[in-house]
Every structure is written in structure tokens, then in C-alpha cells.
Amino acid sequence: MSVQPLLRRLGSRDGLLEATFALATALVEAERRAPAGDVPAVMRAIVDHYDSDGDGVIVLL
């Protein structure tokens, strides 16, 4: 996709950043979802998320 369709859809570079952040946040929330009160499941979800995405986060930092 070229720049013009992105700008038409999202309005600006800031709009692109906001949409990207919203998508990334939704993906992380979905990966970390666990039943309320199930502490072992919550811990597994967090550890699994860091195992799959931790290296990428370090690279971005």
C-alpha cells in the first residue's frame, strides 16, 4: 500500500501511529486474556506473551 491511501484512510501520520498503537494494544490484551481469578492462568498468559514477544520488545527499546 502506498502513502496516499493510508493518509486518506487515517488522516495523518499521527492517525497512523494511533491506529498502530490501538491494534498492538488489542493484540497484547487478547494474548494475555485469562479467566478472572485464575492466577495460574494469568501467570501462564503473561509468561507466554513475554516468551513470544520479549525479544522484539528488547529490539524496539
Alpha-carbon distance 6 to 2, whole Å? 7
* Domains in the chain: boundaries: 3-60
Averaged pLDDT for residues 16-27: 90
pLDDT at 50: 87
pLDDT at 23: 93
pTM of the model: 0.62
The answer, yes or no, to whether residue 36 has pLDDT greater than 80, is: yes
Place of cell 493518509: 7
pLDDT at 2: 80
Count CB atoms within 10 A of the CB of residue 41.
13
